[in-house]
Amino acid sequence: MIRIRNRLDQPLVINRGHGRILHLLAGGSAVIADEELKAPEIQALLTEHVLEQREIKGEGAAPKREEQRTPRRKDN
């Protein structure tokens, strides 16, 4: 999995191939599959330094969130 980030100060619409589109806000990022990285439009944006890419290490796509706990009420 690869994380791409929009380096522009404006939203960006990217054709991911196979009729799929990705909308990135200014400075926004998204995780894409390695195969999608080969799409011609994504390669062109990487070459123009509009997108920044970073490989995600490990098997999981996203880190797990810690469970939030509500503090117990202390009754007097």
Q: How much is the pLDDT for 10?
A: 95
For 48-64, what is the mean pLDDT? 76
Put simply, whether the predicted model's pTM sits higher than 0.75 gets the answer no
Q: How much is the pLDDT for 35?
A: 86
Token duo for residue 16: 């991911």
Q: Tens of pLDDT along 14-54?
A: 988 778 899 999 999 999 988 888 888 999 999 999 999 99
Q: How far apart are CA 19 and CA 24, in angstroms?
A: 17
Q: How far apart are CA 26 and CA 11, in angstroms?
A: 5
At 68, the pLDDT band (50, 70, 90 cuts) reads low
Q: How much is the pLDDT for 15?
A: 84
- Three-state SS at 71: coil
Closest CA to 22 of 5, 44, 46, 1: 5
Domain residue extents for the chain: 2-55
